Amino acid sequence: MYALIAMAMALVLLVMLLRLKLKLGRAMLVAAVALAILLRVSPAEFAGAVAYEWRSKPLTQTTGYLFVTLTALVLLVNMLGLAMKQTGVSARLVSALHGLFRSRRLALAAIPMMMGMLPTPGGIMLSAPMVRDLGDHVGIDRAHSAAINFFFRHQWETIWPLFPSVLFIQGMLGVSALSLISHNVAIMLMGTLGGAVFLLLWGIPPRSSQAQPKAKFHHDLRDFAHAFWPIAMVAALYAGVNLPPAAGLLPAILIFLLIHKVPSRRWGAIFKAAFEGDFVILIFGALVFKLNLEAGLAVDSAVRFLSDISVPGYLLLFFLPMFVGALTGLTLGTVAITFPLLMPFMHVGGELKLGLEVLAFSGLICGLLITPVHLCLALSASYFETSLSKIILRVLGPVFFVAGAGALTTIFFG
């Protein structure tokens, strides 16, 4: 019970600091330190948790590796965005998207959904520059653009096999990939529908009545390719040879600068302008927060408490993943913590009901979409220069659609 209170207090402190206009990165770091104090995590225990990671986890799952790669990715994405602006590629991209997609709403949703197929931490920053530029051109409030980018970025998480949580659940339940994906697709479809209703059908200013000349299709395609190819290159290297996105983005940026004949004497200025210290502090604070949860055994304690008070099965299936997902902001971590406990509740009469798995997964997604601990949400608030609360308020409607997917599949398949 105490661990539950401590985590709630740390989250409340984070929200209060943000309301006091403290920068997001610094607020996250203060909340992480407060959590360590509340959970009585000593420096030795914290160091022990770090050492345990290095001994028992793959390198790619350790805090140090995540800090380096996430920081590099965020800063390099920021640099790519600046390079696109300075070369005029961003400006041409806006009209190209209008020409290719015709619909501004479709363009705004399609960009993060395409980038969302690259399952990397902090990958939301890959689509952020394009969505922000297009949103500014259309005249959308920055908070609304951030919500569109954030929400549609996460629509593949329940079905795309490159996400490790999908493979983890499949192996845990012993079902075929087709069976799992065919059920989980309800979350993706309902979420996309909810996003269209609440994020695309309102908040978009009417199209200007002034006639605008339209470029030919091949001109639009060329301008789009100039902006999109660095991201496509990163995705191809990641999917093809498992190269970390940050490692793939650096050569992509260098090639981009060479293609557009940016003088080498300007490269240093672009690198310098792209550096944002609060981004670095934000990533560090979020990872320290997660590590303190592990070192203090806080999530395990909270899970035991909720299961001990005899919460009804359906409520536990939905709200436990939602609760842990909101606390950690992590998909795979939440699956690893909660799904082993929930597996008995997914069986009715000794038979596995995948509709109940969808209920649990939808709860997890709901938690991830409304928590300030979710790194993608925090990065969005910083990059789009808006507040966490404004983004969360805009995604609440689509979140109810995600919850509805879990409820409907439970009724028909549970």
Predicted local confidence at residue 140, as pLDDT: 92
The string over 381-408, giving b where at least 16 C-beta atoms fall within 10 Å of a residue's C-beta and e elsewhere, is bbbbebbbebbbebbebbbebbbbbbbb
Q: Is the model's pLDDT at 244 over the cut of 80?
A: no
Q: What is the mean pLDDT of residues 184-198?
A: 96
Which range is least confidently modeled, 34-43, 134-143, 161-170? 161-170
Share of the chain above pLDDT 70, in %: 93
Which of residues 182 and 75 earns the better pLDDT score?
182
165 neighbors 157 (Cβ within 8 angstroms): yes
Token pair recorded at residue 72: 């590099």
Predicted local confidence at residue 242, as pLDDT: 67
Q: Is the model's pLDDT at 187 over the cut of 90?
A: yes
Q: What is the mean pLDDT of residues 50-72?
A: 83
Predicted local confidence at residue 414, as pLDDT: 67
Q: What is the mean pLDDT of residues 156-166?
A: 81
Condensed to tens digits (0 to 9), the pLDDT of residues 43-57 reads 999 999 899 888 887
Interatomic CA distance for residues 142 and 385, integer angstroms: 7
Interatomic CA distance for residues 195 and 31, integer angstroms: 31
The answer to whether the pTM exceeds 0.75 is no
Q: What is the mean pLDDT of residues 121-138?
A: 81
Q: What is the mean pLDDT of residues 328-344?
A: 79
Q: Is the model's pLDDT at 17 over the cut of 80?
A: yes
Q: Is the model's pLDDT at 126 over the cut of 90?
A: no
Q: What is the mean pLDDT of residues 217-239?
A: 79
C-alpha to C-alpha distances, 52 to 56, 126, 161, 291, 300, nearest whole angstrom: 6, 32, 28, 11, 17
Predicted local confidence at residue 122, as pLDDT: 64
Q: Is the model's pLDDT at 211 over the cut of 70?
A: no
Condensed to tens digits (0 to 9), the pLDDT of residues 304-320 reads 776 777 777 889 899 98
